[in-house]
Amino acid sequence: MTQAGTATASNGRDIQASTIMKTGKPTITRDFIELTKPRIAVLVLISVAAGAYLAGELYPHRFSWLLLFHAVFGSGLVAGGASALNQVLEKKTDALMARTKNRPLPAGRLTTKAATLFGLALGILGTLYLWLLLPSPPCAIAALLTLLAYVLIYTPLKMVTDLNTIIGAAPGATPPILGYLAITGQMDGPAWSLFLILFIWQIPHFLAIAWMYKDQYAAAGMKMLTVRDSTGRNTGLQMVIYCLALLAISLSPFLLFPYDRRPGMLYLVGSTLSGLMFLYAAINFFRAPTVPMARKALRASLLHWPLVLAFLLIDESRPLPQDQSVTPPTALPQSNIPAPAKETQP
């Protein structure tokens, strides 16, 4: 912590530095990039690409690398716009939390108007990009609905109910769906399987974050389960329950994928071991609900989702066994017996 005297003495230098940051083009560029939450965007774009690649493994005649690029680029624009608009709505609460008070808006380096226009522009451009450059509109429609749900439903609910974590998990589970829809244009079994796995994964993941910053959330007036859970027992129990549910729902590809493209032992063993690792971290937090234990659970979650995607994609990339390949029916052999002669009238 900085002593009050030191902070006061350096006040003039801070104001001068802030002025330079506001007027310097490189700093403004970095601030606009920061509005898009680039670290979160990386995981989002990996999920979009994975969904598109998986669709290509299931429907190779529909896949192209150009479509995958369009899906990632357009979804990235929409995701960046959603993050920027989210920060516009949370400007006041961000200023009350140590981990967010230095973001461009609460720190005063960008104006609310500039951030709003930037977010709207990214959202609109991304939606139009997906609409115009993909063969069918479902991906663009899903991307727009995700943005609206994230900004207009999930973000305000943070100040209303601690159910916001569950509600927000719905738009948060769409990235792989966007990639999948970009290739197939339809919500079928594999798409629902991806959605369900990511939906359940997010809840213990965000509960770990909410416990790490529960005091800051309380100071900002946000309604989080961890804010009213002083002992952490309820939070830990919820994490364990959802990790158990995640283990079960991770088996959904064996039910929802096409019969000849269901994953094999690699995915079964890999996803189960990864899920058990996540569950072990959640159980440890339940036994000792501390910030270090929450951080370990968070790290386990950040490792689990990419591993599940990797095991699934590697398993789906395997060639089909000969006995499962579809072969055209063979023609019946022609008979050498001559056809009977037609009867003629005498």
Tell me the per-residue pLDDT of 32-87, one tens digit each, with 9 for 90 and over: 999 999 988 999 999 999 999 999 999 999 999 999 999 999 999 999 999 999 99
For 188-319, give the CATH class.
mainly alpha
Rounded mean pLDDT, 301-319? 88
pLDDT computed for residue 151 by the predictor: 96
Backbone Cα Rg of the chain? 26
Residue 18: partners with Cβ closer than 8 Å, 6 or more residues away: 107, 108, 109
320 pLDDT band, cuts 50/70/90, is low
The pTM score is: 0.82
Residues 6 or more apart whose Cβ sits within 8 Å of residue 122: 36, 77, 78, 80, 81, 84
Per-residue pLDDT tens over the stretch 1-40: 444 343 333 333 333 333 334 444 548 889 999 999 998 8
Domain 25-187 fold: Tetracycline Repressor; domain 2 (1.10.357)
- Three-class DSSP category at 113: helix
Q: How far apart are CA 91 and CA 85, in angstroms?
A: 10
Q: How far apart are CA 93 and CA 156, in angstroms?
A: 11
What are the CA-CA distances from residue 132 to residues 50, 71, 78, 138, 144 (Å)?
A: 22, 11, 14, 11, 14
Q: What is the mean pLDDT of the chain?
A: 86
Residue span(s) of the chain under CATH 1.10.357.140 come to 25-187
Residues 6+ apart with CB under 8 A from 181: 136, 138, 139, 142, 187, 191
The span from the CA of 173 to the CA of 228, in Å, is 26
Question: Which of helix, strand or coil describes residue 211?
Answer: helix
Average pLDDT score over residue span 249-270: 92
d(CA 51, CA 71): 10
CATH 1.20.120 in the chain is located at 188-319
Q: How far apart are CA 252 and CA 247, in angstroms?
A: 10
